Amino acid sequence: MLALDANDSSTIYIRADALVEQLRRTRPDVVDLDGAVDFARFIDIQGKNRGAADWVWRQVRQLVLEDDDITELAKELFKEKATDFAVD
């Protein structure tokens, strides 16, 4: 799970594989052949943000959760809630 912090102080939480899949469709220039994302290539070309793929990322954090009963319940709840707000 990644937390992408934008310059406007908003944060997007997304699975790393889902981010790579979306970027391969929308911004293939920022994804290497091995699937590594080059966040330095995200620039605000138009002087304004037009969508998640065009945001300028201030920080990217990897969230690692140890598996236990609480995290399993939290992951299921997160998946349910994130699915409700997912945008393709």
pTM value is 0.56
pLDDT band for position 84 (50/70/90)? low
Token readout for 8 is: 């406007």
Boundaries of every domain in the chain: 2-85
Residue 88 has pLDDT above 80, yes or no: no
pLDDT band for position 55 (50/70/90)? low
Residue 52 has pLDDT above 60, yes or no: no
Of residues 81 and 44, which shows the higher confidence score? Answer: 81
Tell me the backbone φ, ψ of residue 3, rounded to 5 degrees.
-115, 115
d(CA 59, CA 40) in angstroms, rounded, equals 11
pLDDT tens, position by position, 31-47: 998 889 888 777 655 55
d(CA 53, CA 26) in angstroms, rounded, equals 7
d(CA 54, CA 39) in angstroms, rounded, equals 11
CA 31 to chain centre: 13
